[in-house]
Structure 1
Amino acid sequence: MTVAGSPGASAFERTLDRIGSDIVEGRLPPGAVCTVEELTVRTGHSRSVVREATRVLGGLGLLEGKAHVGHTVQPSERWDWLQPRVLRWSLASGRRDATLLAIRELRAATEPECARLAAHRRRDTDALELRAIGDALLDAAAVQDVEAFLDADLRLHRLLRQAAANPLLDRVGGAIDAALLDRVDRLAAGAIDLDDAALHRDLAVAVERRDGDAAAAAMRAIIVRTA
């Protein structure tokens, strides 16, 4: 997947990333009014690219456009905090600690119930895949393969949400994924905790056995140790 701001990112992605980051960091403060022309100069990209970026930012709640006025930067209370882009910008900003706390609280409020529902609603194919992912987590932890560990961790959480079959829980999953993806560049080699990996395997086994209470308990323990 191409990350906005990386060399392979499109002009649109770089423009969106630049303006979004500037808003979240406060370089474009709430109430500031920006014209397309000003944003074109700011980003170095064309008017058509800037217009598309402002359209997306409007959908995320960061900008509000009005004809003959421009685009007004919105306060953080208006932002769509469940959107991964917003969370990614916030995690890369001075808001990082507060954002991590909010995600930790969201995880504690939703993920144990998601695990419990998955235990009761999962299909046989879900159980087999969860067991395989649990094994992959243990294998990655044993050799301290950070990339493989985090990839398996992300797949496990996504599959649990799928197995829980609750669209509202799935809706908040993007915020959780953003936090898990944020760990990719921050978990140092040799830093994978074998006990954390074992807890994920315990979770997969509990779901396979349709033990909702054990699945919820395992998830709570994971959140306490890793959030």
Structure 2
Amino acid sequence: MATARGLHAQVLDTLGQRIVDGSLATGAVVRPEAVADEFGVSRSVVREALRVLQSLGLVEPRQRVGTQVLGITSWELLAPTVIRWRGASPSYFVQQRELLELRLGVEPVAASLTAGSSGARAVLHAATDMSDACAREDSRAYLEADVRFHRALLTASGNAVFAHFAGTVEALLRTRTSESRDTITRWTRDAAARHLAVGRALVDGDAAAASAAAGELVRVTRDEFIAEAPSA
């Protein structure tokens, strides 16, 4: 028997995905009684799911109208939950490009701040684990090491905003595992080598080299996604 938490998660994920996919269009009104009937849940479960969607900017209650679906300009696009929904939607490649462009402005700066810090070795260790995962052809271990790499890079910068951004980057990386159209979701030795270049520059305390290597890492990934994106 499903728990209340499980029912809430099911309703939240389904409604959120429908909004992001566009099957619940901007301006549409979500009627709690209809949702409750569809999922066989109580109105309180639906209300809680709608509160979360409101906090993420996907819906808004309006007097004499009801709970209305909002457009993408209102969404919390850096929230991991929204990233996950967009990652499972037709806008997968668009989101990857947009957030890689954002990372291109953040991660090189984070690398320059992390160079020579006490956290630099953790970044190199994660990059080494990525390289080892390549040798074993272990894509799951590669992903987990990749997540650790970027989280360590951002958190070791000493910038609290960059550290907060680590959750966004992790969510973005994890969307790649379920994208069957994307030929670069798997590990690559060249990508591992670029991560190692960043880690080594950080441990050496070379801020300029670390920043340049981090920029090259994100830039190549962005260009790969642009090349792989399906034609409009």
The code of the aligned residue for 1:165 comes to G
2: CA distance between counterparts of 1:145 and 1:185?
16
Aligned to 1:150: 143
Counterpart selection for 2:163 from 158, 165, 170? 170
Contact 2:155–2:166 at 8 Å: present in 1 too? no
Change (3 A) 1:190 1:118: closer
Aligned to 1:205: 200
User: Normalising by the residue count of structure 1, what TM-score does the alignment of the two structures yield?
Assistant: 0.87
Aligned to 1:36: 32
2:218 matches 1:223: yes
- Can you give the 5+ residue segments of structure 1 that lack an aligned partner in the other structure? 1-8
Q: CA RMSD in A?
A: 2.1
Change (3 A) 1:217 1:170: same
Change (3 A) 1:190 1:160: closer
Contact 1:144–1:190 at 8 Å: present in 2 too? no
Change (3 A) 1:32 1:167: same
1:141-182 C-alpha deviation (Å, 9 max, x unpaired): 111110001100000100111101112223333332222111
2: CA distance between counterparts of 1:188 and 1:144?
15
Q: Structure 1 stretch 139-148 or stretch 37-46: which is displaced more?
A: 37-46
Contact 2:79–2:168 at 8 Å: present in 1 too? yes
Counterpart selection for 1:159 from 126, 149, 152? 152
Aligned to 2:41: 45
Offset of 1:189 from its aligned partner? 10
1:31-51 C-alpha deviation (Å, 9 max, x unpaired): 111221122134333212111
The code of the aligned residue for 2:97 comes to L
Aligned to 2:229: none
Offset of 1:91 from its aligned partner? 1.6
Number of aligned residues: 216
Aligned to 1:96: 92
Contact 1:113–1:216 at 8 Å: present in 2 too? yes
2: CA distance between counterparts of 1:188 and 1:26?
25
The code of the aligned residue for 1:217 comes to A
Q: Structure 1 stretch 68-77 or stretch 179-188: which is displaced more?
A: 179-188
Aligned to 1:184: 177
1: CA distance between counterparts of 2:121 and 2:98?
32
Aligned to 2:80: 84
Offset of 1:139 from its aligned partner? 0.6
Contact 1:144–1:189 at 8 Å: present in 2 too? no
1:118-143 C-alpha deviation (Å, 9 max, x unpaired): 115x22xx233223222211110111
Q: Secondary structure at the match of 1:65?
A: strand
Calculate percent identity across the aligned residue pairs: 35
Contact 2:59–2:68 at 8 Å: present in 1 too? yes
Change (3 A) 1:28 1:185: closer
Contact 2:130–2:145 at 8 Å: present in 1 too? yes
2: CA distance between counterparts of 1:188 and 1:30?
32
Q: Secondary structure at the match of 2:60?
A: strand
